[in-house]
């Protein structure tokens, strides 16, 4: 009883002692808001649970020359032309890497509407890559993803029906070769969401089940995924921004001349990511560590792997709409070195 | 007599079973044919479909903008 009385009196007491002398604390550590268990936020879709980790740890690395040109005819409609000349790696059983020099031209058309999104890319040899996303109602979305080739029996397609509820999301998938899958993810607290998925492959008569958990705050995201295919995947992403910016500003005042050229560091957002994957069937363990610097003029991503792979990817904005891309991947174990450069014109 | 009736009954059931099996086979053949046609139509028609939808959206772009690089 006494403790209750003290608790209700606290906010009305005038500030005494040290509290009156010091300035009031900034709102960094606001009073923890009361959790409204009936109004939890909607979780991220199940396949994007590790989205932040993938953005840092799996950049688009390529080998050779890449040139992309996107021409917008309209707010919603644009055409794209893309040229690639370089090597692509063929999957091989042995530890040697087999690279095949390839060159191709790809034509694409995009139509982006709030309710309907159509993206199509066709290569010169007739392979079509199609993506459709359609909002059937406010909460129900249909997504179609297809790769069609001229050779028979090599085409793939997948239909996804997504339903978004108040604090849950559910998805049902139908794919070719009689693939059926479903997943469900639910927010159980303002920061924690849990999900699970099942799938069934008709042709090989295989089925699987998996569970995932994601804990995120403003500054960090931690995820864990385990599947009956024998895979365990953990990841952790930390966002570092304000403090590093203040440190750099301090250093600049201290040594103004040298750091003046680093003006672009003022708008700085850094993410550090780490990832751990264990495959029980092949007894394969991989862990990687990566960083993602988003600056005003460029974006630099890099990663370091336990397989002896070091990779980096730089996208530099030269001018309005012109981006210069550099990509490098060095695999010390397999002695495989890949370097690529390219230019992206248009949005 | 009873054996004759039962024999006839079995014959009828077998005929019905064969009918059902051929109906299922027919459905499967038609659906495979339909999927093949749908795949060819999508393969050739998807990009032209996007271009037609895009050219008819507001504000309508001009035809020369499709080909010129500016």
Banded pLDDT at A5 (limits 50, 70, 90): very low
- Residue A109: how many CB atoms within 10 A of its CB? 23
User: What residues of chain A lie within 8 A of the CB of B39, using their CB?
Assistant: 148, 155
Q: Which residue in B has a C-alpha nearest to residue A131's C-alpha?
A: B46
Give residue A259's pLDDT: 45
pLDDT at position A176 is: 86
Contacts of A122 in chain B (CB under 8 A): 47
Identify the weakest region by mean pLDDT among A43-52, A239-248, A265-274, B34-43: A239-248
Measure the CA–CA gap between A87 and A226, rounded to whole angstroms. 34
Q: Which residue of B has its CA nearest to A118?
A: B50
Distances (CA, A) of A235 to A50, A116, A186: 7, 33, 19
More confident position, A15 or A37: A37
How many contacts (CB atoms, under 8 Å) link A and B?
A: 52
Q: What angle do CA A166, A171, A174 make, to 5 degrees?
A: 160
Nearest to B54 among A74, A128, A150 (CB): A74
- Whether B49 has a pLDDT exceeding 50, the answer reads yes
* Residue B64 pLDDT > 70: yes
**What is the percentage of chain B residues whose pLDDT exceeds 90?**
27
**Cα separation of A241 and A291, whole Å?**
13
Q: Which two tokens stand for residue B64?
A: 């020369």
Report the predicted TM-score, pTM, of the whole model to 2 decimal places: 0.75
pLDDT bracket for residue A6 (50, 70, 90): very low
- Bridge partners for A324 per DSSP: A316, A343
Residue-wise over B40-66: b if at least 16 C-beta within 10 A, else e? Answer: eebbeebbebbbebbbebeeebeeebe
**Mean pLDDT over the full length of chain A:** 85
Assembly ipTM: 0.76
């Amino acid at each position: 009883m006494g403790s209750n009385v003290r608790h209700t009196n606290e906010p009305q007491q005038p500030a005494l002692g040290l509290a009156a002398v010091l300035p009031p604390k900034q709102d960094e550590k606001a009073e923890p808001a009361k959790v409204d268990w009936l109004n939890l936020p909607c979780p991220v879709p199940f396949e994007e649970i590790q989205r932040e980790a993938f953005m840092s740890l799996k950049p688009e690395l390529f080998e050779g020359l890449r040139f992309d040109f996107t021409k917008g005819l309209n707010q919603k409609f644009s055409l794209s032309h893309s040229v690639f000349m370089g090597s692509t790696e063929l999957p091989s059983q042995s530890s040697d890497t087999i690279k095949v020099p390839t060159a191709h031209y790809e034509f694409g058309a995009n139509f982006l509407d709030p309710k309907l999104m159509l993206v199509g890319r066709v290569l010169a040899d007739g392979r079509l890559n199609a993506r459709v996303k359609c909002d059937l109602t406010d909460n129900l979305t249909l997504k179609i993803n297809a790769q069609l080739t001229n050779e028979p029996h090599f085409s793939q397609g997948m239909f996804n029906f997504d339903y978004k509820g108040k604090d849950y999301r559910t998805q049902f998938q139908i794919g070719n070769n009689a693939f059926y899958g479903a997943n469900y993810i639910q927010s159980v607290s303002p920061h924690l969401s849990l999900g699970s998925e099942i799938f069934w492959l008709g042709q090989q008569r295989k089925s699987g089940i998996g569970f995932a958990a994601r804990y995120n705050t403003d500054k960090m995201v931690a995820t864990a995924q385990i599947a009956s295919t024998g895979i365990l995947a953990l990841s952790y992403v930390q966002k570092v921004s304000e403090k590093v910016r203040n440190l750099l500003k301090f250093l600049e005042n201290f040594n103004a001349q040298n750091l003046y050229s680093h003006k672009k560091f003022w708008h700085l957002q850094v993410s550090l990511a780490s990832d751990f994957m264990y495959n029980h069937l092949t007894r394969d363990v991989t862990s990687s560590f990566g960083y993602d610097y988003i600056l005003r003029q460029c974006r630099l991503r890099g990663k370091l792997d336990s397989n002896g792979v070091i990779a980096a990817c730089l996208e530099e904005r030269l001018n309005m709409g012109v981006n210069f891309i550099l990509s490098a991947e060095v695999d010390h174990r397999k002695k495989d070195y890949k370097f690529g450069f390219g230019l992206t014109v248009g949005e | 007599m009873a054996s004759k009736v039962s024999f006839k009954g079995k014959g009828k059931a077998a005929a019905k079973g064969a009918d059902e099996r051929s109906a299922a086979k027919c459905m499967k053949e038609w659906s495979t044919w339909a999927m093949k046609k749908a795949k060819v139509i999508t393969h050739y028609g998807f990009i032209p479909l996007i271009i037609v939808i895009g050219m008819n959206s507001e504000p309508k772009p001009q035809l020369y903008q499709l080909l010129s690089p500016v």
